[in-house]
A and B are shown apart, each in its own frame.
Chain A
Amino acid sequence: MDITGIVAQLVFGLVAVLTLVAGFLTVTFRNVFHAGLALVGTFFGVAAIYLMLEAEFLAVVQVLIYIGAIAVLILFAIMLTRGLMQSETSNINKQWAWAALAIATLFLGMFLIILQVPWVHSGGAVYLDITPFLGTQLLTTYLLPFEVVSVLLLAALVGAFIIARE
């Protein structure tokens, strides 16, 4: 009876269920502001999954960028594009039945494939503070993508500014 394993699996089950429920609410809420708030909940759930995978830096960056910046951006855009009347009509468009069918098929297919592939588990890592190694690798092995992404962010910044200007 491995108590740590049982506790770990319980925690994982809880976090996974909360994340999927929040994701489901994001795509089914009629009021798009409420859907935005459910999206924030999903982001927190995904950050918790990163913590369980021992990627703490990524979890904190997820909260900082996705919730602190992207979710705020989405909420600002929702605020700025509200109609005069907050219409409570259905928020699902005409092709939802076909979409649901295709997606159910896709999920079933992926589920079966995932269960059948013989995944190779490498040995477990010793727990260390991996952030210094991440920083070093970002600036040595992955320096080119790092610089390209910064140029891309500059382009996105200027582009968004110009498109949304009056």
Chain B
Amino acid sequence: MTLHIPLVYYLIVAAALFCIGLFGALARKNAIAVLMGIELMLNAVNINLVAFWRYGSPNPVSNQAGIVFALFVITLAAAEAAVGLALVIAVYRSRDTVNVEEIDLLKW
């Protein structure tokens, strides 16, 4: 069934999702919204990896490098979200704001 949908469609969807996530990471004020953009980018990368696994390897069953890679990316995204959000909460506690435009100076 997969071969009814050309590989190019999946790659374009992944590229579009990556660009949307990049916009979120660059142009949002709330630090947590920036983290959400990063999660979107990681998801887009995962779609790419799995699409290449399915279409690119001659034997997708015995060579599951694509899925294993995507699985590790999901795990690392979880670890990074945990630490990133802990940092945001710590910054909120000391500066009382999560607006990235206001958290731009270290203590002087």
- Distance in Å: Cβ of B71 to nearest Cβ of chain A: 7
Verify if B106 is at the interface (C-beta below 8 Å from A). Answer: no
Assess whether A133 is in contact with B62, with CB atoms less than 8 Å apart.
Answer: yes
Chain B: interface secondary structure?
A: helix
Assess whether A111 is in contact with B12, with CB atoms less than 8 Å apart.
Answer: yes
Q: Which residues of B contact A54 (CB under 8 A)?
A: 1-2, 54
B interface bracket (residues with beta carbon within 8 Å of A): 35 or more
Q: Which residues of A contact B74 (CB under 8 A)?
A: 58, 61-62, 65-66
Verify if A163 is at the interface (C-beta below 8 Å from B). Answer: yes
1/0 contact string of A52-79 vs chain B (CB within 8 Å): 1111011001100110011001101110
- Distance in Å: Cβ of B28 to nearest Cβ of chain A: 6
**Smallest CB gap from A7: residue in B:** B4
Interface contact tally, CB-CB below 8 A:
235
Assess whether B61 is in contact with A19, with CB atoms less than 8 Å apart.
Answer: no
Question: CA of A94 to CA of B9 in the docked complex: distance in angstroms?
Answer: 34
Q: Which residues of A contact B15 (CB under 8 A)?
A: 107, 110-111, 114
A interface bracket (residues with beta carbon within 8 Å of B): 35 or more
Q: Which residues of A contact B53 (CB under 8 A)?
A: 53, 55
- Cross-interface CB contact of B39 among A52, A70, A124, cutoff 8 Å: A70
- Cross-interface CB contact of A106 among B5, B19, B70, B87, cutoff 8 Å: B19
- Distance in Å: Cβ of B80 to nearest Cβ of chain A: 7
- Distance in Å: Cβ of B13 to nearest Cβ of chain A: 5
Q: Which residues of A contact B55 (CB under 8 A)?
A: 119, 121-122
With A27-B20, A49-B47, A157-B82 as given contacts, are A16 and B4 in contact (CB-CB < 8 Å)? Answer: no
Question: CA of A90 to CA of B13 in the docked complex: distance in angstroms?
Answer: 28
Name, among B4, B33, B75, B80, the residue most crowded by chain A CB atoms within 10 Å (CB to CB). B33
With A32-B32, A35-B36, A58-B70 as given contacts, are A27 and B24 in contact (CB-CB < 8 Å)? Answer: yes
Assess whether B81 is in contact with A73, with CB atoms less than 8 Å apart.
Answer: yes
Name, among A74, A100, A157, the residue most crowded by chain B CB atoms within 10 Å (CB to CB). A74
1/0 contact string of B32-70 vs chain A (CB within 8 Å): 110111011001001100110111111111101001101
Known: A55-B67, A133-B62. 15 other contacts (CB 8 A): A4-B4, A8-B1, A12-B5, A20-B13, A26-B37, A53-B54, A58-B70, A65-B78, A99-B23, A100-B23, A119-B7, A122-B58, A128-B61, A130-B61, A153-B79
Interface residue ranges, B against A (CB under 8 Å): 1-5, 7-13, 15-17, 19-24, 26-30, 32-33, 35-37, 39-40, 43, 46-47, 50-51, 53-62, 64, 67-68, 70-72, 74-83, 85-90, 92-93, 97-98, 100-101
